């Protein structure tokens, strides 16, 4: 049994970034009921913030929703269903650690928004508690644990740009050449309702996927920092079933294009839609135009694709986690 090494009252704060899928190709349904997929996933500068406080034995969670539309509140999971809590229990189970923790989540990632908010929290909990409890698992082991809880979690534990395949458990790093100041800017908009992922996969009909060349171009664009090529290679197999069921989202995407964005795509299974802008200034202009034309019902944020590093820890543990 591992005894937690953290001292009482030592808190650990982690930034858990959301993700967007620059490509998401869904292939056939597998025997286990899941679909095979391939996706280029990048972290973006929209964060949930987790504060972990060691406790003797209990695992407790509290959530605070910041700046999200009111419709997000009922979507908050019950404490035992919270992916961060499930991650904590799983980590204890596999390591035999007897530690406890209070997990406070300051949520800024839209819930059910296709931006992997719950997965980000689980990834941050796994990574942070592994430090806090001194359980010493490798990043690969944490990714494997993450895969047991959700498809997006291994990619989010890894943290940088990746290609995700299989159910999401096969992760290949994608090198990027961003340096500070050259990262791409995006505008994310969310209508305030959530899109149930399972229902969209059920509505998905194969045959609507992209071709190989588009994927190769998108990966090349990421590696070279070629924003124009990336915009021309954005693809999401789930756009058709989502836009079919929620025409409002198709119209939001159309309005982002009219506002001047070079590339617009549904993130994951929605309901968030993002636009890739030429630079920070253009992102602000696009966001302002969306606000002007659509009023306050449309939640939006300007964010950056993050070049590196997912989680920053403050407090007694200062290194990047």
Catalytic residues: 19, 152
Contact 40, 97 (CB under 8 A): no
HSE, side-chain direction, 13 A CA sphere, residue 101:
34
Told to check if 269 binds ligand ATP by CB under 6 A, we report yes
Phi then psi for residue 225, to 5 deg, are 70, 30
What's the CA dihedral at 42, 43, 44, 48 to 10 degrees?
150
Phi then psi for residue 90, to 5 deg, are -65, -40
Sign of the CA dihedral with 189 first, then 314, 53, and 143 last:
positive
Told to check if 22 binds ligand ATP by CB under 6 A, we report no
Told to check if 191 binds ligand ATP by CB under 6 A, we report no
Q: Which of 45, 55, 71, 75 binds ligand ATP (CB under 6 A)?
A: 75
Q: Which of 81, 140, 199, 244 binds ligand ATP (CB under 6 A)?
A: 81
Told to check if 69 binds ligand ATP by CB under 6 A, we report no
Kindly identify the residues of this chain, within the stretch 202-261, that bind ligand ATP according to CB under 6 A.
none
Q: Which of 100, 113, 146, 154 binds ligand ATP (CB under 6 A)?
A: 113
Q: How far apart are CA 225 and CA 166, in angstroms?
A: 26
Stretch that binds ligand ATP, among 115-123, 132-140, 160-168, 212-220 (CB under 6 A): 115-123
Stretch that binds ligand ATP, among 118-126, 206-214, 229-237, 279-287 (CB under 6 A): 118-126
Stretch that binds ligand ATP, among 113-121, 179-187, 213-221, 282-290 (CB under 6 A): 113-121
Told to check if 43 binds ligand ATP by CB under 6 A, we report no
Tell me the two tokens of residue 90: 């799983």
Q: Which is nearer to ligand ATP, 152 or 221 (CB)?
A: 152
Shortest-Cβ-distance residue relative to ligand ATP: 118
Length of the chain: 321
Tell me the two tokens of residue 27: 């292939």
Contact 14, 3 (CB under 8 A): no
Cα of 244 vs its chain's centroid, Å: 24
Q: Which is nearer to ligand ATP, 105 or 221 (CB)?
A: 105
Told to check if 77 binds ligand ATP by CB under 6 A, we report yes
Kindly identify the residues of this chain, within the stretch 144-163, that bind ligand ATP according to CB under 6 A.
150, 152
Told to check if 90 binds ligand ATP by CB under 6 A, we report no
Q: Report DSSP letters for 292-306, one per residue.
A: HHHGGGSEEEEEEB-
Rounded to 5 degrees, what angle do the CA atoms 313, 48, 250 make? 145
- Residues near ligand ATP (CB under 6 A): 75, 77, 81-84, 105, 111-119, 121, 150, 152, 197, 268-269
């Amino acid at each position: 049994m591992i005894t937690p090494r953290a001292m009482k009252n030592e808190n650990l704060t982690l930034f858990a970034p959301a993700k967007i899928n620059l490509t998401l190709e869904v292939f056939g349904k597998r025997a286990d009921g899941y679909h095979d997929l391939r996706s280029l996933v990048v972290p973006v500068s929209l964060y949930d913030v987790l504060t972990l406080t060691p406790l003797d034995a209990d695992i407790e969670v509290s959530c605070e929703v910041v700046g999200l539309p009111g419709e997000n509140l009922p979507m908050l999971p019950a404490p035992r269903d919270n992916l961060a809590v499930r991650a904590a229990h799983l980590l204890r189970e596999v390591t035999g650690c007897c530690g406890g923790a209070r997990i406070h989540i300051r949520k800024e990632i839209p819930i059910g928004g296709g931006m992997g908010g719950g997965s980000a929290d689980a990834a941050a909990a796994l990574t942070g508690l592994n430090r806090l409890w001194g359980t010493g698992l490798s990043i690969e082991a944490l990714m494997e644990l993450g895969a047991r809880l959700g498809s997006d979690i291994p990619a989010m534990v890894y943290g940088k740009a990746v290609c995700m395949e299989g159910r999401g458990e096969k992760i290949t790093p994608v090198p990027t050449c961003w340096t500070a100041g050259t990262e791409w800017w995006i505008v994310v908009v969310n209508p305030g309702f959530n899109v149930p992922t399972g229902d969209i996969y059920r509505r998905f009909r194969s045959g609507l996927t992209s071709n190989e060349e588009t994927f190769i171009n998108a990966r090349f664009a990421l590696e070279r920092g070629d924003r124009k090529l990336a915009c021309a290679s954005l693809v999401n197999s789930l756009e058709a079933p989502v836009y079919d069921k929620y025409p409002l989202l198709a119209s939001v995407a159309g309005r982002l294009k009219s506002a001047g964005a070079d590339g617009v795509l549904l993130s994951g299974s929605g309901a968030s839609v993002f636009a890739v802008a030429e630079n920070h200034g253009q992102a602000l202009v696009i966001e302002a135009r969306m606000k002007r034309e659509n009023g306050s019902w449309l939640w939006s944020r300007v964010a950056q694709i993050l070049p590196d590093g997912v989680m920053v820890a403050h407090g007694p543990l200062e290194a990047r986690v």
